[in-house]
Structure formats: structure tokens, C-alpha cells
Amino acid sequence: MRILYLADVRFPIERANGIQTFETCWALAERGYEVTLLVRPDSIAPARDPFAFYGRPAHSRMEIRRVLPVPARLRRAGYLAQALPAASSRRTEVVYTRDLGVASAILRCGGSWRAPLVYESHGFAPAVSRALPELIGNAPVASAAKLRRLHRREQLVWRRAEGYAAITELLAAELRERFGPRENLAVVPDGVRLDPGRVYDPPPVRGRPLIVYAGHLYPWKGVDVLVDALAYLPDCDARIVGGHPAEDDLDRLRERALARGLQRRITFTGLLPPAAVRRELLDANVLVLPNTETGISQRYTSPLKLFEYLAAGRPVVASDLPALREAVEHGRTAWLVRPGDPSALAAGITRVIADRTLAQDLGRAAFSEAERHTWAARAERIEAVLVAVRS
């Protein structure tokens, strides 16, 4: 089967969506599918090789094509002008995208000329758009007209796309409640790359335990809560991995640490390549995922970092949120705590550090659990929808 994956993003991109897109395409190619990933040109000259960037060799069944560059003001129109003909090509047997606008544009153009469409949803767009200003801070407030437009798109794609994938069970349930039942629906959480022949290795023994967070630093990710929690943990140090140089989150957290007198106990690494991030995770005694209690965290998140944490075999202390409970179990594969509460996060970390048996049990169980969440497992779930839309 020949799959056209449409992603209107510069590529490669230093964000989780780039990793997820690349690894999904790679895993489908590994399952025998012919995958063409259509993206925008790299923003760095000379253009980087995506395979090298994401640490994979070139694949004979995976092609990455970049659309022709256009002026910035025409970026979206330029991408669609090149994506729509590709979707109607005789070489394309299935179109796959996680871009709601691209999916709705294809569906509005009619059905007889194009390949079947599978849409992958990462959240109910009006709810996400409405929440962004509070979650990120510099996002524009969505107008009522935009929210109505997003709602119409969601409804159109839910009802007319031949196949559908949702990132969490909770999101799938919400969409069914809003728009009614549908066929060819799969739940496809994110995944992780595992090294062949991997063997569990216990956390390092050190005098001062090291707490590590890796990922975006947006306020809703809860890293502010981790900084505040460190005040309750005088015998621990923390390392915060991430922070895009074009955003102000890293400066905000540094100022917060300074204001609380914690700057000597927190190391900020900034943005690191994926392989370097994995090394940082292995250096931890405890890994934390302190998401705050927002609509996105509760229903729409399947964090790459969580699966990376599991694969590292380190005890995980995470916020007790419904979407996260789809992937981990309290007391077995993670220790869950009340979201948004620094003292609760500190108590959870203390509990894990103080009980070495618990820490090792959590780490070993997490290490094994990661086998259920590989990119190959994700591709297998997607495959059920691909086969259904072609039958």
C-alpha cells in the first residue's frame, strides 16, 4: 500500500510533532508500506537530512519530499496547492495527516478523485484553541468565528474521513459524544524507540539524588511546579532538559529558580538532540512529568516524554491525570501525585527516593511496559484503519 503522509511543517523540526511524524512514517515503512512524507522545506541552510537528524538510516520504502518554497504569506496556500494534486495521484492509495485544515480541505474537494483519507486527531481543535492563551501565554485569543470554523472542520472530518485515529481513549470518547459513532476508528497513543538487546540498568547511586525533567517548558507542562517542589527537597538536585531558544519559557524558569534561591541546585541544559536527551534520562534517579490539570493534560495528551521515561527504566513521578493513566498504573509503572501541587510532587519524589525497593520495582516495571508502546506497536494499530479504508 502506498501512503501519502501530509505534514505542513518545516522539516526536520526540533519539536515532539516532528519526532512523532518521522517515527510513525518509519514504522509504517518497516511494516512494508511505501510511505511518502510531504513537508515544507527546512528553515536552515543547507537543508538538513531528516534521517540523520532523527538518527535513522535512509529507508528504501520511505521518501521525504519537500514542497517548492513560496513566500511566507502564501505558505499555507502553497502547501495545499501541492498537497491536493498529490492526494489525487494514482500512486497514492491512502492519505494520512494529523493536520485538521489539510484534512478538511481534501474532503471539501470531493471524494471520487482522491484516495481514502485517515485523520489523526490530537485534540478537539476548538477546545485547544480556546485554551492556548492561558496555556502558552503568547498565543492569540481565538475569535468566536475561528472557534465556529474549527468546530465545523472537526465535524466534517469526523463524519467524512474514511478512517480516524485518536491519540487517547478519552479523546475518542469525547468525539463520539459530540458527533456520534463512526467506523474505522482506532486509538493510537504515541510511542518510543527502543534499542535492540536492551537490558535494565538500575539508577546510579549518588549522594544527592538527581531529579530530571525533559520536554517543553510551557506553563501547562508543570515545570514551574517542579521548581517550587525542589524547595521541599533540600537534599536533591534537578536537571531541566529543554527550552526552545525562540521562546521565553527558559528565562521564566531561571528567574523563578533564582527568586526561590534554588539556582545552584537546578541545571538548565536548553534544547538537546534526541540522543543526548536519552542520556540525560539515564542519569536520573527520578524522572518527573508534572503536567498541570488542564483540558489538554486531562484528555488530549500522550506525551513522548512519558514513553521515553518508561524506556529509560527509571522511577517516574507523574501527575495523576486521566490521559496519563491510560499509559501508566499508580504504584506499578509510575507514582502518581495530585497535579499542580508542589508539596504533593515533593512528597511523591521523597517516597520513591526513600524506598529503594519501590524505586527499583517502578523502574523495572516501566522498562518492561515500554515494550507495549513502541513505534512499531503504534504502526500496527494504525494498520488496522489503513486496511479497513482500502477494503
Residue 137 has pLDDT above 70, yes or no: no
Average pLDDT over residues 306-323: 97
Q: Report d(CA 129, CA 267) in Å as an integer.
A: 32
The verdict on 386 and 357 lying in the same domain is no
Which percentage of the chain shows pLDDT scores above 70?
Answer: 99
The verdict on 360 and 380 lying in the same domain is no
Position 339 scores a pLDDT of 97
Average pLDDT over residues 77-99: 95
The verdict on 268 and 120 lying in the same domain is no
| CATH code assigned at 222 | 3.40.50.2000
Q: Which domain holds residue 308?
A: 210-373
Domain presence at residue 288: yes
Q: pTM score > 0.85 for this model? A: yes
The verdict on 246 and 224 lying in the same domain is yes
The verdict on 253 and 182 lying in the same domain is no
Q: Write the pLDDT tens digit of every residue in 28-81.
A: 999 999 999 999 999 999 999 999 999 999 999 999 999 999 998 999 999 999
Residue 112 has pLDDT above 80, yes or no: no
Position 133 scores a pLDDT of 81
Q: Write the pLDDT tens digit of every residue in 3-21.
A: 999 999 999 998 889 999 9
DSSP category for residue 389: H
Are 96 and 3 spatial neighbours (Cβ–Cβ below 8 Å)? yes
Number of domains in the chain: 2
The verdict on 160 and 222 lying in the same domain is no
Domain presence at residue 64: yes
Average confidence score pLDDT of the chain: 95
Are 157 and 116 spatial neighbours (Cβ–Cβ below 8 Å)? no
Position 120 scores a pLDDT of 98
Three cell numbers written together for 194: 527502543
Residue 280 has pLDDT above 90, yes or no: yes
Domain presence at residue 198: no
Position 111 scores a pLDDT of 65
Q: How many CA atoms lie within 13 A of 15 on its CB side?
A: 12
Domain presence at residue 204: no
Domain presence at residue 116: yes
Domain presence at residue 201: no
The verdict on 187 and 314 lying in the same domain is no
The verdict on 158 and 84 lying in the same domain is yes
Average pLDDT over residues 379-385: 97
How many residues does this entry show for the chain? 391
Residue 206's pLDDT band (cuts 50, 70, 90) = confident
Domain presence at residue 180: yes
* Burial class of residue 51 in the structure, from the number of CB atoms within 10 Å of its CB (0-12 exposed, 13-18 middle, 19+ buried): middle
Position 361 scores a pLDDT of 97
Three cell numbers written together for 243: 527550552
The verdict on 118 and 150 lying in the same domain is yes
Average pLDDT over residues 263-285: 93
Are 150 and 125 spatial neighbours (Cβ–Cβ below 8 Å)? yes
Q: Where are the alpha helices (DSSP H) in 137-195?
A: 144-160, 169-179
Residue 360's pLDDT band (cuts 50, 70, 90) = very high
Domain presence at residue 161: yes
Kindly give, in sequence order, each residue whose CB lies less than 8 Å from that of residue 175, ignoring residues fewer than 6 positions away.
121, 124, 154, 158, 166
The verdict on 118 and 215 lying in the same domain is no
The verdict on 124 and 164 lying in the same domain is yes
Average pLDDT over residues 373-389: 97
Residue 139 has pLDDT above 80, yes or no: no
Position 109 scores a pLDDT of 85
The verdict on 94 and 118 lying in the same domain is yes
Residue 255's pLDDT band (cuts 50, 70, 90) = very high
